[in-house]
Structure formats: structure tokens, C-alpha cells
Amino acid sequence: MKIKQIYLDMDGVVVDLHTAFLANHGFVLTEENWPVGYKKGSQVMGMSQEEFDAPIMKAGATFWQGLKPYGWFEEFWQELNAIAPVCYLSSPEYGPGCAGGKVKWMQERHGEEFGDFVLTSRKELLAAPGCVLIDDTIRNLEKFEAAGGRGVLFERPWNTPGSRERAPHKQVLAQLKALATH
């Protein structure tokens, strides 16, 4: 298939949201200590979602702007762009601070004129033949595929129980290259 457009999730794929989320509650996340079978940080901490999210809601844009990219970010970004045009596709579900902080994060890395992003929780609206979504949330991929796009899972401990994959971006790049030649 010809890959015309790559849509790239941010949280859990290019930015290390989970480490920052859990640090708010004093949990030091490593690649090894995410409990097997857990999907959410609130589960890891044994908190309600509201309680878990409270410090994030309070911090606003600074929290999102300050999120650290994973070690593979630069290489992954360059390799993806060599395959097809890339557009960030990310959810603004934590309100205006979240949306504004994410825009600042992208502009810090790609320049003030950078506009290759869509902020929506309805990622499937962008689905079309030749369009690929890379995401760590299985539900997003299911909806994107049902709407006519192609989903590629970015493997992380919270979507693949027991995963200790240290180079998930390499798996994704190999899958994209295989897709492009079939």
C-alpha cells in the first residue's frame, strides 16, 4: 500500500507522559516497574481518575509544554518523515492548558511556524485509505481502522502486558516499511 500520510500520536509515543503523570504522585516509573496488565496510571496508584488528574489540571500548559521526549524521538521523527509526510494527531482532553502546552512543545522543536498537527479526541475523522495512525491506545487504532485508515500499535507496557520493549519505534518503522511494500 502507498502510505500517503502518517498521523503520529504524542502522549506515550513521542512524549513521556506516563513518567510525568506518575511523578506527580511520587511514583518513579522505569521501563521495568509498570505493573503487568495495568492500563492506566490511576490504576497503578490505586486512585480515582479525578484524584490522579488533579495535579495535571492544576499545572495547565506548563505541564504539557515541559514533557520530555522519549530518547527515540529525534530518530523516529526523521525516519517517519523519510517514509511519508507526518502530522501529529493528539488529544486535547485535559482542556485549554493541554492544547496550548502541546502547541508550544511542538513549536519549540519544529519552529514557530510549525502547523503540522491536529488536536482532537476524534482521531478516526482523519482516517482514509493510505493514512496510517501510530498510537499507543488500542481503542484509537480500532476506531481509525473501522473508519478506513490503517492503525499501527506503538508497543508500551500499558498496551502490551509485560512488554519490556526498549526500541518500540524500530518495530513500528519495520511495520511501516513492510506495509509500504505490500
Residues in touch with Mg ion (CB under 5 A): 9, 11-12, 136
Nearer CB in complex with Mg ion: 9/124: 9
18 versus 65: smaller Cβ distance to Mg ion: 18
Nearest to Mg ion of 65, 137 (CB atom): 137
Rounded to a whole number of angstroms, the minimum distance from the CB of residue 180 to Mg ion is 23
Residue with cell 482516517: 127
3-state secondary structure 30-57: CCCCCCCCCCCHHHHHCCCHHHHHHHHH
Provide the minimum distance between the beta carbon of 139 and Mg ion in the complex, in angstroms, as a whole number: 10
Q: How far is the CA of 55 from the CAs of 49, 52, 61, 69, 162, in angstroms? A: 11, 7, 12, 20, 28
Of 9 and 16, nearer to Mg ion (C-beta) is 9
| 3-class state of residue 14 by DSSP | coil
Distance CA(89)–CA(128), nearest Å, equals 14
Q: Least distance from C-beta 159 to Mg ion, angstroms?
A: 9
Closest distance between Mg ion and the C-beta of residue 135, in Å?
6
